[in-house]
Chains A and B, each alone.
Chain A
Amino acid sequence: DTGVSQNPRHKITKRGQNVTFRCDPISEHNRLYWYRQTLGQGPEFLTYFQNEAQLEKSRLLSDRFSAERPKGSFSTLEIQRTEQGDSAMYLCASSLVEGVDGYTFGSGTRLTVV
């Protein structure tokens, strides 16, 4: 088990373009989370899945953001019509369903919108 894997590690995109990030959780973890971290801030919750069901979305997740976990394994986070304010580190984490046992985080995808 190689932990939580996120791709790409870095993404530079022009304003208005769409981007998609992928997260592969630890295989036996049925819960998957997306967080966003801007410079000088702690991570902020965006959304989470239990298996393939998206159970909660933060108000930070605007209509331009969509997340999927189609088969309950990997997940994708898509941002449409990117804005400069979307520049951040996007972190994925996974855990077992039994409570908050300390997530395992991936290394993140650093998005820069120019």
Chain B
Amino acid sequence: GQNIDQPTEMTATEGAIVQINCTYQTSGFNGLFWYQQHAGEAPTFLSYNVLDGLEEKGRFSSFLSRSKGYSYLLLKELQMKDSASYLCAVRVLTGTASKLTFGTGTRLQVTL
């Protein structure tokens, strides 16, 4: 099976930088996604890593180390609208099937 761990909650100040960590244990790993989900809304894609290293996309960056089973999402210049849950999801290939398994999410609260 898959096991994905991320902190339950984090708080940060507007304008600051926050790093949300995710560790995973899985077989058939084939990519890691980060999604943002505002309360009661659909998750939306933020970032994707399949190879080791850093992917940067505006204020958001994501890092992956496959050997360590570790990823982080870095959010810079935090804004109030960044208050949301951030979901780490691992893509697993099993035969011809591919599915995303999600962590429970990290609820980020951005304060003034």
**B partners with A:** no
